């Protein structure tokens, strides 16, 4: 059997699950079911294959690396993390993965999986995957078609007259239909949901892509040749990669090739593309409710309640989603939850940070939580990982006062070095260069009080940075 290279696409923003999922911290990095994040579930799904290749964007790279490190300490199974400098859809991303896999094995087979899918029946998935790999070794480009459980209008469909588990030739791909058309598709027995999961030989995919979109292959190859190693990441060349056509693998190859094949998958699959789909996928109580967090309900039914850290009390609700985070509350009919994108669009139009950032923001050195703000001041709770350092920096418009809550801090302020422990504090004047380091073996927690005329995150001038940030 050929070398099998799992490729996990983790560049999505997942805004359809706002306010839980946002651009800077999307759904694939959250624990929405079970004991793992969606990314981790996806990695474990192909754990018996080679170490996966993960493609993600720059802003998520440290969260992705940390979650992957939690799964294995086996250095022989070190995950490759490739950073896209700009989003160019799935065809260019898969082209890069294929070219990279060919460096390892000329006969490599790619198993391409989005990082944000739920597959409950892993045994059925493994069986279908083995069939797909065999078909790929025959030279076919395989898509997984989900056996439909309903006339779903939120998915595209694959038309393939498959009556066996080994699948059939794909006749055509169709876009998301209206409800009447979707019902006709399901009734025919020849249409399957398009899962966005694929299996094919790396060289076979490159050959087909060269036929239909040769410029993508050229630019992807240059982006990989001119890539830079950055810590544990492979950073694609931005100038080359940005010239790739912004196009999905469906449009670029699968709808045009004569080698498209579909393997049916009946494994209780969902792409968790809305709060309604998450509700449908989770276990419910005797009233049909899904409750996560501190929830009290009275005469509520068939509803989803999700709270991060505060009590939700609900009375007489039916078919409703109530999603509470530190800084936002969403209330909607479950059937209308796909329309959350309109709220996110409005937030973007108004320039509000809630469209992309949570109150708690993750950084490679740890995290900060903005716990209070007002005119000319802001208060943050900062946590620094053991051994980590913030950049050597200064601010033009704000001063800062740091108070250590737990752990130990080394503070460089100008030419001075200070060692601070619990309940000790230090003042950083406006314009002074400074750096914060955690020299200890436990997380450093401190309160930061900012004061000044402008408190935006872009008021940072970095002079040195362990993590290579500008």
Pair 31, 177 in one domain: yes
In this predicted structure, the answer to whether residue 430 has a pLDDT above a threshold of 80 is: yes
pLDDT tens track for 194-228 = 999 999 999 999 999 999 999 999 999 999 999 99
In this predicted structure, the answer to whether residue 154 has a pLDDT above a threshold of 90 is: no
Does the residue 266 lie in any domain? yes
Pair 377, 331 in one domain: no
Q: Kindly report the pTM of this predicted structure.
A: 0.89
pLDDT on residue 220: 97
Pair 27, 55 in one domain: yes
Does the residue 418 lie in any domain? yes
In this predicted structure, the answer to whether residue 143 has a pLDDT above a threshold of 90 is: yes
Share of the chain above pLDDT 70, in %: 98
Does the residue 346 lie in any domain? no
Contact residues for 297 (Cβ-Cβ < 8 A; gap 6+) = 287, 289, 291, 303, 305, 313, 314, 315, 317
pLDDT tens track for 379-388 = 999 999 999 9
In this predicted structure, the answer to whether residue 393 has a pLDDT above a threshold of 60 is: yes
pLDDT on residue 281: 92
Pair 237, 315 in one domain: no
In this predicted structure, the answer to whether residue 153 has a pLDDT above a threshold of 90 is: no
Pair 250, 281 in one domain: no
Domain edge (last residue) among 246, 270, 294? 270
Pair 92, 36 in one domain: yes
CATH of the domain at 431: 2.60.120.10
In this predicted structure, the answer to whether residue 75 has a pLDDT above a threshold of 50 is: no
Average pLDDT over residues 79-99: 95
Pair 250, 191 in one domain: yes
Pair 234, 112 in one domain: yes
Domain edge (last residue) among 311, 340, 369? 340
Per-residue pLDDT band for 15 (boundaries 50, 70, 90) equals confident
Does the residue 402 lie in any domain? yes
pLDDT tens track for 48-64 = 888 899 999 988 888 99
Q: How much is the mean pLDDT over the chain? A: 93
pLDDT tens track for 341-359 = 999 999 999 999 899 989 9
Does the residue 51 lie in any domain? yes
Does the residue 73 lie in any domain? yes
Q: How many domains does the chain have?
A: 3
Pair 291, 255 in one domain: no
Average pLDDT over residues 68-78: 70
Query: Where in the sequence is the domain holding 264, given as residue range(s)?
Result: 4-270
Share of the chain above pLDDT 90, in %: 84
Does the residue 30 lie in any domain? yes
pLDDT on residue 73: 54
Pair 70, 206 in one domain: yes
- Which stretch of 158-172, 235-249, 266-280 has the lowest confidence by average pLDDT? 158-172
Does the residue 353 lie in any domain? no
Pair 308, 188 in one domain: no
Pair 91, 217 in one domain: yes
CATH of the domain at 81: 3.90.550.10
Domain edge (last residue) among 225, 251, 270? 270
Average pLDDT over residues 435-460: 95
pLDDT on residue 59: 83
Per-residue pLDDT band for 163 (boundaries 50, 70, 90) equals low
């Amino acid at each position: 059997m050929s070398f099998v290279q799992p490729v996990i696409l983790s560049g999505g923003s997942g805004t359809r699950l706002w306010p839980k999922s946002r651009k800077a911290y999307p759904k694939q990095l959250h624990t929405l079911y079970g004991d793992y994040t969606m990314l981790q579930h996806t990695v474990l799904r192909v754990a018996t294959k080679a170490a996966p290749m993960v493609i993600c964007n720059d802003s998520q790279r440290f969260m992705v690396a940390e979650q992957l490190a939690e799964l294995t300490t086996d250095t022989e199974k070190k995950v490759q993390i490739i950073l896209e400098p700009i989003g160019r859809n799935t065809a260019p991303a898969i082209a890069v993965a294929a070219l990279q896999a060919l460096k390892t094995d000329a006969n490599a087979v790619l198993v391409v999986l989005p990082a944000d899918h739920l597959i409950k029946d892993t045994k059925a998935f493994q069986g279908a995957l083995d069939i797909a790999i065999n078909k790929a070794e025959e030279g076919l480009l395989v898509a997984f078609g989900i056996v439909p459980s309903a006339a779903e209008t939120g998915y595209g469909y694959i038309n393939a007259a498959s009556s066996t588990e080994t699948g059939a030739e794909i006749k055509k791909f169709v876009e998301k239909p209206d409800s009447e058309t979707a019902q006709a598709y399901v009734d025919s027995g020849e249409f399957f949901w398009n899962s966005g999961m694929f299996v094919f030989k790396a060289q076979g995919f490159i050959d087909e892509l060269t036929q239909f979109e040769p410029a993508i292959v050229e630019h992807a190859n240059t982006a990989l040749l001119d890539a830079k190693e950055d810590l544990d990441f492979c950073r694609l060349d931005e100038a080359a990669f940005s010239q790739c056509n912004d196009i999905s693998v469906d449009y670029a190859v699968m709808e045009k090739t004569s080698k498209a094949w579909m393997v049916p998958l009946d494994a209780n699959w969902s792409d968790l593309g809305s709060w309604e789909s998450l509700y449908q996928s989770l276990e419910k109580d005797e009233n049909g409710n899904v409750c996560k967090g501190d929830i009290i309900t009275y005469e509520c039914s068939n509803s989803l309640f999700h709270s991060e850290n505060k009590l939700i009390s609900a009375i007489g609700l039916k078919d409703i989603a109530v999603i509470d985070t530190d800084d936002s509350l969403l209330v909607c009919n479950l059937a209308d939850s796909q329309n959350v994108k309109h709220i996110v669009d409005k937030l973007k139009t108004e320039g509000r940070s809630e469209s992309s950032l949570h109150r708690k923001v993750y950084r490679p050195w740890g995290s900060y939580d903005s716990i209070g703000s007002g005119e000319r001041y802001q208060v943050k709770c900062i946590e620094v990982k053991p051994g980590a350092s913030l950049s050597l920096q200064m601010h033009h418009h704000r001063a800062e006062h740091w108070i250590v809550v737990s752990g130990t801090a080394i503070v460089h302020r100008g030419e001075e070095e200070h060692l601070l422990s619990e309940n000790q504090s230090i003042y950083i004047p406006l314009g002074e260069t400074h750096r914060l380091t955690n020299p200890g073996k436990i997380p450093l927690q401190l309160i930061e009080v900012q004061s000044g005329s402008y408190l935006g995150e872009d008021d940072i001038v970095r002079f040195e940075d362990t993590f290579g940030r500008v």
